[in-house]
């Protein structure tokens, strides 16, 4: 239910339409090829709707208008102040168009009017286009965003890249460990399992803080490296507040999610298979490659997918450890939710992320089946 609501939000643009309904109606009649500026009627309805509209409603609409072009907010605020003064004195302007342009010359600037095109529809895909760095031009055609406002495509790719790397590292590190745990006698493996389960049970924030302590310039790792003489004192590595830090911390945090499914799969592979293969003349490496590895594929895909999907929506760790360029898509969703209050864009980003996830789950269900998730 909350997710459905979010999907509605991502296309919903009705709020602004309740504030300026007639203006938008007139606006749609404007033929942009003939006139440079909208006709008199548009100016008149806007003037009237600003004069009679409720202050709170207009305020909300302004926030929305500022998303499509910054400057709307101050423009409308100044204008409506002037309009209030005029209506108090009972002045009815002869030409609404000229009066408005006189109040603020920005009303004569067609780019403001063009940006209004993004808002006139009650349901709009504009947020989705914004989420991949596209926007509308004056004829409601989709074009690229300004060079300096293009951030999301880049962030999407970075999120994917980080997730793929984290999954890969988890697989490389997790596979031998799961193998060891599955093949040791139960007494030892239960003991070693604590090393996997303890991080799994520990608070995410605690582990993130711990990595900041480990990786910072005066931190433990740099300290040990300097003490061992590998690094000079002023050659300390910058490992935190960048992508390296995010990768290291996320790998450690998500590693248990890889080890546990792998372990539960490896546990049931009979040891006699490897022995039989070697008995039939296969070298250990070949036996491993041809006999053991194929049997672990369900575990690898389960763990891999779990890690990948968790990594792609990660937000806490990249935000704290990643610094400025470690920001992933989750951070932007939070940013728009909390700071800019651009909920439409936020919901659109979330919806795209959700769609990506659903594709992966569909794949996962095809390969392994969703019931195979196991805890601890």
Which residues, 277 to 316, sit near other proteins by CB under 8 A?
A: 284, 309-310, 312-316
- Which member of 171, 269, 354, 367 binds other proteins (CB under 8 A)? 354
Span of 91-99, 132-140, 144-152, 189-197 interacting with other proteins by CB under 8 A:
189-197
- Which member of 153, 160, 164, 357 binds other proteins (CB under 8 A)? 357
**Separation between Cα atoms, residue 116 and residue 136, nearest integer Å:** 10
DSSP state of 136: E
Helix (H) or strand (E) holding 135: strand 134-136
Q: Which is nearer to other proteins, 142 or 359 (CB)?
A: 359
Q: Which is nearer to other proteins, 9 or 97 (CB)?
A: 9
Q: In the complex, what is the shortest distance from the CB of residue 248 to other proteins, in angstroms, rounded to a whole number?
A: 9
Q: Are 110 and 37 in contact (CB under 8 A)?
A: yes
Site for other proteins in 311-350 (CB under 8 A): 312-316, 320, 330, 333-334, 337-338, 343, 346-347, 350
Q: In the complex, what is the shortest distance from the CB of residue 55 to other proteins, in angstroms, rounded to a whole number?
A: 21
Q: Is 86 in the site for other proteins (CB under 8 A)?
A: no
- Which member of 14, 74, 123, 209 binds other proteins (CB under 8 A)? 209
Radius of gyration of the CA atoms of the chain, in A: 29
Q: Are 263 and 178 in contact (CB under 8 A)?
A: yes
- Contacts for 339 with CB less than 8 Å, ≥ 6 apart: none
Site for other proteins in 148-177 (CB under 8 A): 173-174, 176-177
Backbone φ and ψ of 143, nearest 5°: -130, 170
**How many other C-beta atoms are found inside a 10 Å radius of the C-beta of residue 206?**
10
Backbone φ and ψ of 333, nearest 5°: -60, -45
Q: Which of 224, 218, 257, 256 is nearest to 239 (CA)?
A: 218
Site for other proteins in 213-252 (CB under 8 A): 213-214, 216, 218-220, 223, 252
**Separation between Cα atoms, residue 293 and residue 272, nearest integer Å:** 14
Q: Which of 165, 326, 299, 331 is nearest to 240 (CA)?
A: 326
- Kindly state the tokens that stand for 143: 């074009």
Q: In the complex, what is the shortest distance from the CB of residue 207 to other proteins, in angstroms, rounded to a whole number?
A: 6
Q: In the complex, what is the shortest distance from the CB of residue 346 to other proteins, in angstroms, rounded to a whole number?
A: 6
Span of 44-52, 54-62, 119-127, 198-206 interacting with other proteins by CB under 8 A:
198-206
- Kindly state the tokens that stand for 318: 């990249």
**How many other C-beta atoms are found inside a 10 Å radius of the C-beta of residue 132?**
16
Q: In the complex, what is the shortest distance from the CB of residue 372 to other proteins, in angstroms, rounded to a whole number?
A: 11
Q: Which is nearer to other proteins, 58 or 196 (CB)?
A: 196
Helix (H) or strand (E) holding 143: strand 142-144
Q: Which is nearer to other proteins, 52 or 232 (CB)?
A: 232
Interhelix angle 293-312/152-183, nearest 10 degrees: 140
Q: What is the size of the binding site for other proteins (CB under 8 A)?
A: 72
Q: Is 269 in the site for other proteins (CB under 8 A)?
A: no
Q: Which is nearer to other proteins, 103 or 306 (CB)?
A: 306
Q: Are 322 and 212 in contact (CB under 8 A)?
A: no
- Kindly state the tokens that stand for 163: 């997730």
Q: Which is nearer to other proteins, 62 or 193 (CB)?
A: 193
Q: Which is nearer to other proteins, 153 or 180 (CB)?
A: 180
Q: Which is nearer to other proteins, 51 or 355 (CB)?
A: 355
Interhelix angle 204-215/243-266, nearest 10 degrees: 130
- Which member of 22, 73, 207, 236 binds other proteins (CB under 8 A)? 207
Q: In the complex, what is the shortest distance from the CB of residue 285 to other proteins, in angstroms, rounded to a whole number?
A: 9
Q: Is 369 in the site for other proteins (CB under 8 A)?
A: no
- Which member of 34, 186, 228, 230 binds other proteins (CB under 8 A)? 186
């Amino acid at each position: 239910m909350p997710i459905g609501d979010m999907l509605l939000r991502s296309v919903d643009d009705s709020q602004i339409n309740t504030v300026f309904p007639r203006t938008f109606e007139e606006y749609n009649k404007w033929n942009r090829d003939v006139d440079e500026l909208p006709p008199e009627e548009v100016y008149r309805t806007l003037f009237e709707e600003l004069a009679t509209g409720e202050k709170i409603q207009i305020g909300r609409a302004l926030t929305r208008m500022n998303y499509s072009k910054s400057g709307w907010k101050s423009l409308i605020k100044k204008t409506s102040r002037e309009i209030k003064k005029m209506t108090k004195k009972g002045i009815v302007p002869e030409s609404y168009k000229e009066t408005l342009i006189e109040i603020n010359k920005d009303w004569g600037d067609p780019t403001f009017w063009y940006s209004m095109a993004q808002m006139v529809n009650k349901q709009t895909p504009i947020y989705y286009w914004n989420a991949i760095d596209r926007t509308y031009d004056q004829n409601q055609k989709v074009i690229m965003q300004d060079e300096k406002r293009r951030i999301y495509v880049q962030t999407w790719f970075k999120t994917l890249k980080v997730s793929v790397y984290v999954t890969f590292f988890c697989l490389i590190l997790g596979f031998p460990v799961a193998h060891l745990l599955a093949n040791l006698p139960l007494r030892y493996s239960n003991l070693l399992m604590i090393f996997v389960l303890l991080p799994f049970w520990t608070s995410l924030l605690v582990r993130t803080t711990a990595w900041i302590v480990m990786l910072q310039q005066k931190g433990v790792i740099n300290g040990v490296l300097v003490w061992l003489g590998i690094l000079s004192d002023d050659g300390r590595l910058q490992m935190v507040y960048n992508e390296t830090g995010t990768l290291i911390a996320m790998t450690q945090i998500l590693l248990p999610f890889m080890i546990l499914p792998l372990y539960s799969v490896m546990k049931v592979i009979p040891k006699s298979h490897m022995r039989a293969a070697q008995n039939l003349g296969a070298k250990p490496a070949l036996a491993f490659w041809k006999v053991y590895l194929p049997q672990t594929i369900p575990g690898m895909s389960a763990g891999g997918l779990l890690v990948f999907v968790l990594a792609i929506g990660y937000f806490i760790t990249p935000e704290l450890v990643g610094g400025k360029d470690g920001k992933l898509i989750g951070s932007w969703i939070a940013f728009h939710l909390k700071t800019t209050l651009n909920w439409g864009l936020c919901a659109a980003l979330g919806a795209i992320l959700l769609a990506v996830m659903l594709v992966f789950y569909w794949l996962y269900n095809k390969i392994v089946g969703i019931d195979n998730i196991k805890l601890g």
